[in-house]
Amino acid sequence: MSPGAPIAVLEGVRARDGAGEAGRPRGSLFGAAAALGPGVHAVLGAPEDGTLALAELLAGRAAPLAGRVLVAGRDPFRSASTRARIGVLSVAPELPDGVSVASSMSVALRARGAPPTSAAALLEALGVAPLLARRRASLSFAEARAVELALALGAPQPLLLCLFEPFADVAVTSLARVRERLRALADGGACVVLITSSTVDARALADRIHVLDRGAFVRTEPGDGERLAGAPVSAAPGAGKPDVELHVLVHERAPDAPGARALAAALASSPSVRAGAWEKGPGGVSSMLRIRAADREAAALAILDAAAREDVMLAAISSPAPSMHDVRAATALHLVAVRPRWPFGAPRGDAALPPDAALPPDAALPPGAALPPDAALPPGAALPPGAPPRGPVAVAAFGAPAPPAPPLPSPPSGPAPAGVLPAGALPAAPGGASGGQPAAEPPLADGSPRAAETGPHDGR
For 60-103, the DSSP string reads TSS--SEEEEEETTB-TTT-HHHHTTEEEE-SS--PPS-SBHHH
Task: Specify the amino acid at residue 414.
Answer: G
Q: Helix, strand, or coil here: 244?
A: strand
pLDDT at position 401, please? 43
pLDDT at residue 395 tops 50? no
* Res 442: pLDDT: 55
pLDDT interval class at 231 (50, 70, 90): low
- Tell me the whole-structure pTM to 2 decimals: 0.64
Contacts of 304 (CB under 8 A, 6+ apart): 314
In angstroms, the CA 191 to CA 318 distance is 31
β-strand partners of 209: 42, 221
Do residues 13 and 62 touch, judged by C-beta distance below 8 A?
Answer: no
355 or 74, greater pLDDT: 74
In this prediction, residue 410 carries a pLDDT of 55
- Whether residue 249 is predicted with pLDDT greater than 70 in this model: the reply is yes
The per-residue pLDDT for 239 is 46
Please state the rounded mean pLDDT for residues 370-379.
Answer: 48
Identify residue 75 by its one-letter amino acid code.
D
Q: What is the pLDDT of residue 54?
A: 96
CB atoms within 10 A of CB 411: 12
Mean pLDDT (whole number) for 270-292? 84
In whole angstroms, how large is the CA radius of gyration of the chain? 32
83 exposed, middle or buried (CB, 10 Å; 0-12, 13-18, 19+)? buried
**Looking at 196-200, 262-266, 278-282, which range is the least confident one?**
278-282
pLDDT band at 406 (very low <50, low <70, confident <90, very high): low
How far apart (Å, rounded) are the C-alpha atoms in residues 215 and 14?
Answer: 8
Please count the other Cβ atoms lying within 10 Å of the Cβ belonging to residue 331.
Answer: 22
Residue from 136, 62, 60, 52 nearest 99 by CA: 136
Q: Kindly tell me if the per-residue pLDDT of 326 is higher than 90.
A: no
Nearest alpha carbon to residue 3 among 210, 224, 252, 188: 188
Half-sphere exposure of 222 (CA within 13 A, CB side): 5
pLDDT band at 256 (very low <50, low <70, confident <90, very high): confident
Residue 150 is predicted with a pLDDT of 95
Helix H or strand E encompassing 246: strand 244-251
- Give pLDDT, residue 149: 95
Q: Examine the pLDDT at 368 and tell me if it is beyond 80.
A: no
Most confident of 139-143, 345-349, 431-435: 139-143
Tell me how far apart the alpha carbons of residues 271 and 240 are, in angstroms, rounded to a whole number: 16
Distance CA 388, CA 347 (A): 6
Distance CA 327, CA 333 (A): 10
Residues 6+ apart with CB under 8 A from 343: 388, 389, 393
Whether the predicted pLDDT of 55 surpasses 90: yes
Q: Around Cβ 272, how many Cβ atoms within 10 Å?
A: 19
